[in-house]
Structure 1
Amino acid sequence: MADLLAFLRELEATTAWTVVADDASVRWQLSGPTWQATVIVDPRRWLGVEFEARDPASGKRVTYDIDTDLYDISQESHREFAEEIERDIIEFLGNLRTGSMLRGTDGTKLVLVFPLDGSWVRVVRGRFWTSGSTHADLAAARVGGDYVVVR
């Protein structure tokens, strides 16, 4: 978890994002004009990011989470899994920082598109739930309406 904590501290120093850490540096609140994220780094319990982007024109929101689920990451047998999740969170936030994350529409649905682990992820907020899919290239993931960089 040291890599993720170092990355979060670097974001705090190098971005215009609002970055707020709690006293124990377990919960980090990050935000930009059209998004917010909560990153939790608790090596004894859980590791994850909860991300929400919104379309300022419509007010619609789409969410995406990366986390260690119910795995006890303090166990040595789950260490490799926790390290993969840590890398995914760093890549996800790094893509957000570099402008590689896009927000668009598919009909009336709000969509996020971003690279992660060698493919493109497409997250669609439907009427009742959010679904995700992976694609080999950006063009396949960007099906639908216009897209803008998430800022």
Structure 2
Amino acid sequence: MEFEAGQRLLAFLRELQAVKVADSTWGFGGPEWEAVVDVVPHRWLALAFEALDPVTGKRATYDIDTDLYDLTRDDQRGFAEEIERDIIEFLDNLKRGAVLRGNHGKKFVLVFPLDGAYVRVVQGRFAGSASTYPDLATALAGGDYVPLSRPHPRA
């Protein structure tokens, strides 16, 4: 079967019971986070994720998207598959409770597994930065973390 950008992601969103909020946009969340996924098959795949520290009110964001790549081109197929796989893996980690939130000093931090490593997102004053670590212990160093709440359909 030929790869069609977005089809596996759409199937996973149905499994998660994400709510369609616009023509090509789905949403769902938990008490301290929200995920918005855009799927325009053959053209655009995107995840916009925002988490909230319920104590300090600080926010951290993480985005994955196909950028300006033309997904209709055969030479972009591998990139589209990789982005779709990463979005699904991130959403599955949310579903399983594997995305952690915490604080390192005054910074709000997210830590989660992705593609065989661990990503640590640190929210700065204006933007966040993501770093990759080979193991969970290293990614969690210097912080105090708890799992994010599991997803529920968006109202």
Residue in 2 that maps onto 1:99: 97
Percentage of matched positions with identical amino acids: 60
* Root mean square deviation of aligned Cα: 1.1
Could you report, residue by residue, the CA deviation over 1:89-111 in whole angstroms, capped at 9, with x for unpaired residues?
00000001101110011110000
Q: How far did 1:23 drift?
A: 5.7
Task: State how far apart, in whole Å, the 2-side matches of 1:112 and 1:93 are.
Answer: 14
Between 86-95 and 127-136, the greater mean CA deviation after superposition: 127-136
Aligned residues: 144
Residue in 1 that maps onto 2:40: 42
Structure 1 counterpart of 2:68, from 67, 70, 86 = 70
Pairing 1:80–2:78 present: yes
Correspondence list, 1:1-151, <5 A: 1-12=6-17, 19-22=18-21, 24=23, 26-151=24-149
User: Given the two structures, how large is their TM-score scaled by the length of structure 1?
Assistant: 0.91
User: Given the two structures, how large is their TM-score scaled by the length of structure 2?
Assistant: 0.89
For structure 1, list consecutive stretches of 5 or more residues without a partner in the other structure. 13-18
Task: State how far apart, in whole Å, the 2-side matches of 1:86 and 1:117 are.
Answer: 12
The answer (yes or no) to whether the contact 1:48–1:68 under 8 Å persists in 2 is yes
The answer (yes or no) to whether the contact 1:45–1:72 under 8 Å persists in 2 is yes
Task: State how far apart, in whole Å, the 2-side matches of 1:125 and 1:131 are.
Answer: 6
Letter of the 1:129 counterpart? A
Quick one: higher RCO (CA 8 Å, sep 6+), 1 or 2?
2
For structure 2, list consecutive stretches of 5 or more residues without a partner in the other structure. 1-5, 150-155
The answer (yes or no) to whether the contact 2:47–2:64 under 8 Å persists in 1 is yes
Q: How far did 1:75 drift?
A: 1.8
Between 90-99 and 71-80, the greater mean CA deviation after superposition: 71-80
Extract structure 1 runs of 4+ deviating beyond 4 A. none
